[in-house]
Amino acid sequence: MHAHSYGKYAPYGKWLHPKLLIHRPWDVMKDVYDNVGMLPHNCGFCRSVKVERLEQLKPDQWYVIRRGHVTSFMSEWLGYIQKAIENDKNVELIIDRLANSKIQILKDLLPKDWR
């Protein structure tokens, strides 16, 4: 095991990637943050992070940010789904994007008889 491993209990949980729709581990997000200088999402929670390095956040701060981020992120997708239903457009595209993603439960909101 690496000297910096957190052992059985990892205090820094994963971040749900808004484009890949999968969780990214803390170690990956630390590198992303160091390279890009921000979390790659424009929700209020992600934009509120202004530390020089992500590891300056305490585990409970990171917990709130990533939980808040998920609610913002889900809300964005609910908006896409609402538009797709209203306009009867892009439904198939959204179903494809949600398939095998961490938010695939939202697929159930879309019309099942789409063709």
Q: What are the beta bridge partners of residue 23?
A: 16
Size of the site for Zn ion (CB under 5 A): 4
Per-residue x/- mask for Zn ion, residues 55 to 94, rule CB under 5 A?
Answer: --------------x-------------------------
Q: Closer to Zn ion at the Cβ: 46 or 84?
A: 46
Reported as type and span, the H/E element at residue 71 is helix 59-87
Q: Of 41 and 97, which CB lies nearer to Zn ion in the complex structure? A: 41
Which structure tokens are listed for 60?
């409970």
Q: What is the nearest approach in angstroms of Zn ion to the Cβ of residue 83? A: 20
Distance, CA of 7 to CA of 109 (rounded, Å) = 39
Between the two ends of the chain, the Cα-to-Cα distance in Å is 50
Minimum distance from residue 107 beta carbon to Zn ion (Å)? 21
Number of other CB atoms surrounding residue 8 within 10 Å? 5
C-alpha distances out from residue 88 to 25, 69, 81, Å? 36, 28, 10
The binder of Zn ion chosen from 26, 29, 33, 46 (CB under 5 A): 46
Stretch that binds Zn ion, among 3-11, 44-52, 78-86, 100-108 (CB under 5 A): 44-52
Per CB under 5 A, residues contacting Zn ion are 41, 43, 46, 69
